[in-house]
Structure 1
């Protein structure tokens, strides 16, 4: 339309914006009254507003009648087409709504956005409107309106919904893409709500079309915009949808790293943000699942600790927290909360099983036996899987309790009971490799090599060869039969299939032990050098352990300087590393520096009271003095209490008994030493971890 002067146009803009402000706030009657004053400029405006009011009030028939009349009076009125299309769609007539919605011009949408919206209550004096004596015939379609932009934007989103409802999702995607590309300036205007709906709908449509990677791109892009673009609720929804897609995986961009983070890490970060803003049960469950599947158990424990009281009962809260600590390897923390949970519940088998596992992990095997026995009692007549878990934990705790028993008779009884209990666990869950593996370890510790070999073969088959420690046990069993070449072949096959990191390092360390036991010390040096490269990121204790093994290998080769250097490096990382001090003692003893060697062995024994080798060497040095026979006997008995299968300790005890004139006892000790030496493995069977302690909690 034409204006007589610039002031007339400016006044009209102010009047229309005031009308639109009333519409945005839902003051429909006041908006209609204000529009009546502008009827000279647009005779359809009052009808339009009345139709929109009826639409918002759910009076769809009335709205349709008014909007059709407005559109008939002004066929090119895009706002009337948009509102009529919305009305018909809400009435369930997507096919009838589509022609009106498709008549909307997306490219012209930006012209309806004013640079600065004028509020309803303005402190600026309203300019006077100069009325012409003859009303202008045309409507002010060129006048900017943020509300009009909101109406058109909402209608375009409805157009996409209609297309999707008519099984035309690809066309719906094109509409939304064009909308988002055309209206970058409406993100902070009245249209923002509809544009946010467009983002969510576009992501859903991409997923419907199987193009999850494109949905991920859309969500990432909108979240990367300046703060405040999305409302809090919509931002949460976008983050939840994006996290879900990242955790599901998929093709293309879904699996690509973003900003240096893996998809799982990105998803976890998003879910943590959502939970920080407002706790939600579904998000909590999704976050817990993500942290579980990615092995982020310490962070999982933090998440569980942050849950407000009242969401879960106290036993539930402590139980879940205990499982997280167990999986993270924090046995003491796990046992603390599981004890509290056990005090407030009765007959909760999964809880009792978890508490028994925590006891086994922390050296409280006697307490663990009580928890496990209670679990076994309550599984009478229940599922075999749950009973199998209870029996498994009981068997492991009995075996660990046997190690610390002071009486030979008690130790033997506990070992036998552990074997029988683990057999029952295997019978209860025959397809589970874990109890069978732990049974094989228990049998191996008692030097029952043939039965152990049979069970570990079945365990390997049950795990499809994926359990690293089963291969290590098989290799040690072969080495105990002096079949070193076969043991090396087993480990080589396991290494071919093993991934990098800790599992590969464990296999290589066992291979080095087998090579050393078979007399291939130089080969062992090369193998340990590979291990050293793998464990450097595993912390100082892991690296110090490998360095001390390198030192031992050099001792066997009489490379004293190299041995001493590796031992020094180990002690620099871990000043009280028992293995490093033991090797230092061997070097000093070879240099005939007996007193210094004694001090090194004693340091090792103090650093690790279970270090039987140091106790045996101390006893050997004391044996040079006949007056020290009682001390030697005490040290060797202490060593045998720690490791009843140590042939060197039995041999040393036989020498003491022989010197004392106890020839019959000495003969028995020498015989035991000879039998044990014939079946000594390349590394102690007790060095292998129990499966029940290394597997993630299942209960």
Structure 2
């Protein structure tokens, strides 16, 4: 009856169970029944089906993707009272992260094969939670050779930049943009230029990165070219602050304005570009042009960004229009959290002094002193760790 011998009935039965449990949620998904899909995934993972590790990992990955992109009403897993110390997810994002980190752990332990989409889903989930440091941690745990090293370096650079570790980020980008690696990666060049544009000591290096990025985008995205010109202008501006020669400084200022003007011609309504253009005008004592840019920035952001009001107040005070500057300062205070109002309170106090109102200036300084003392006595914020 059986030409090839008696089949292993238990093995065949388990294979059938594996396929059925794995495919049932996908069938419900195709049928458009999202709640049944949700329930099927939960049953597949919580019931004792004796599934192999590869099958469980596939189900966990698909369930995590469904939680992230399925737009289904989420409810916590009903597994009775959790054991002490057990993490219980409170949102669909948290449950997706838990599932994906579990799959990664199995890969690190050699129980499953590598699936790059798991890291892609996890990166998206952690980005939503504003946790780039955790993305970096997981990337650094991945075994060498799993990712192309330039891709890994670039992703780590973005992660570390996201948590404020700009020097670490730039070091990764330097390795990635080495002539023996991937020196024409436009996004990496732009990030390197942006980091350098924030530090006078790195301005010359940033100029080179920005020019290389612009050269790469000549026939590509206009927005990327505008961004490259913007960063080039910012780097040239920073470089002008540290040169010793007046002639060099004047030339760098001219190049800065040329780059920013060209960038604005490609992206006229970019608020950050308008703001930086206004700062350049102010540094060159062209207060009318600076005032125009300050007003444009406030209009472009709907008055919701405090630095626009602060800049407007500074330009107005430079024109000795103190009462208008005070109105702008008050607007900035309304848009700024209490903890971040220190610089604005100093401006307000100085404006009161300039208007011969010493008692009101004293009151502003009193509020500033109370804020400084409150910040000094405030306990450090405890970060959420997942």
Q: Could you say which residue in structure 2 is the equivalent of 1:253?
A: 74
| Aligned counterparts of 1:217 and 1:477: Cα–Cα separation in 2 | 60
| Aligned counterparts of 1:505 and 1:191: Cα–Cα separation in 2 | 62
Q: Could you say which residue in structure 2 is the equivalent of 1:86?
A: none
**Match for residue 512 of structure 1 among 325, 330, 345:** 345
- Give 1:387-426 correspondences, 5 Å limit: 387-426=225-264
Q: Could you say which residue in structure 2 is the equivalent of 1:305?
A: 140
| Aligned counterparts of 2:207 and 2:172: Cα–Cα separation in 1 | 18
Q: Could you say which residue in structure 2 is the equivalent of 1:367?
A: 205
CA drift of 1:350 comes to 2.5
Q: Could you say which residue in structure 2 is the equivalent of 1:200?
A: 25
Q: Name the CA shift for 1:538/1:360 in 2 (closer, same or farther; >3 Å).
A: farther
| Aligned counterparts of 1:322 and 1:284: Cα–Cα separation in 2 | 16
Q: Name the CA shift for 1:303/1:409 in 2 (closer, same or farther; >3 Å).
A: same
Q: Name the CA shift for 1:201/1:316 in 2 (closer, same or farther; >3 Å).
A: closer
CA drift of 1:194 comes to 7.0
**Match for residue 273 of structure 1 among 102, 120, 124:** 102
The alignment partner of 1:431 has SS state of: coil
| Aligned counterparts of 1:249 and 1:526: Cα–Cα separation in 2 | 49
The alignment partner of 1:253 has SS state of: coil
Matched, 1:321 2:156: yes
Instruction: State the TM-score, normalized to the length of structure 1.
Output: 0.44
| Aligned counterparts of 1:431 and 1:225: Cα–Cα separation in 2 | 56
CA drift of 1:394 comes to 0.8
Unaligned runs of 5+ in 1: 1-19, 27-149, 151-188, 541-699
Q: Could you say which residue in structure 2 is the equivalent of 1:617?
A: none
Q: Name the CA shift for 1:247/1:517 in 2 (closer, same or farther; >3 Å).
A: farther
Unaligned runs of 5+ in 2: 1-5, 78-86, 108-113, 353-360
CA drift of 1:396 comes to 0.8
The alignment of Structure 1 onto Structure 2 pairs a total of residues equal to: 350
CA drift of 1:464 comes to 4.3
Q: Name the CA shift for 1:521/1:215 in 2 (closer, same or farther; >3 Å).
A: farther
Instruction: State the TM-score, normalized to the length of structure 2.
Output: 0.74
Deviation sequence 1:642-696 (CA, Å, 0-9, x none): xxxxxxxxxxxxxxxxxxxxxxxxxxxxxxxxxxxxxxxxxxxxxxxxxxxxxxx
Q: Name the CA shift for 1:265/1:523 in 2 (closer, same or farther; >3 Å).
A: farther
**Match for residue 189 of structure 2 among 352, 356, 379:** 352
| Aligned counterparts of 1:203 and 1:525: Cα–Cα separation in 2 | 65
Q: Name the CA shift for 1:286/1:460 in 2 (closer, same or farther; >3 Å).
A: farther
Q: Is 2:217–2:224's contact at 8 Å kept on the other side of the alignment? A: yes
| Aligned counterparts of 1:222 and 1:521: Cα–Cα separation in 2 | 68
Q: Name the CA shift for 1:22/1:293 in 2 (closer, same or farther; >3 Å).
A: closer
CA drift of 1:268 comes to 2.5
| Aligned counterparts of 1:367 and 1:354: Cα–Cα separation in 2 | 12
| Aligned counterparts of 1:506 and 1:480: Cα–Cα separation in 2 | 26
Matched, 1:521 2:359: no
| Aligned counterparts of 1:457 and 1:464: Cα–Cα separation in 2 | 10
| Aligned counterparts of 1:315 and 1:393: Cα–Cα separation in 2 | 23
Q: Could you say which residue in structure 1 is the equivalent of 2:80?
A: none
Q: Could you say which residue in structure 1 is the equivalent of 2:287?
A: 449
CA drift of 1:216 comes to 5.0
CA drift of 1:510 comes to 3.5
Larger Rg over CA atoms: 1
Q: Is 2:22–2:59's contact at 8 Å kept on the other side of the alignment? A: no
Q: Is 1:468–1:507's contact at 8 Å kept on the other side of the alignment? A: no
Q: Is 2:22–2:44's contact at 8 Å kept on the other side of the alignment? A: no
Q: Is 1:338–1:351's contact at 8 Å kept on the other side of the alignment? A: yes
The alignment partner of 1:336 has SS state of: helix
The alignment partner of 2:197 has SS state of: helix
Q: Name the CA shift for 1:25/1:375 in 2 (closer, same or farther; >3 Å).
A: closer
The alignment partner of 2:177 has SS state of: helix
Q: Is 2:271–2:301's contact at 8 Å kept on the other side of the alignment? A: yes
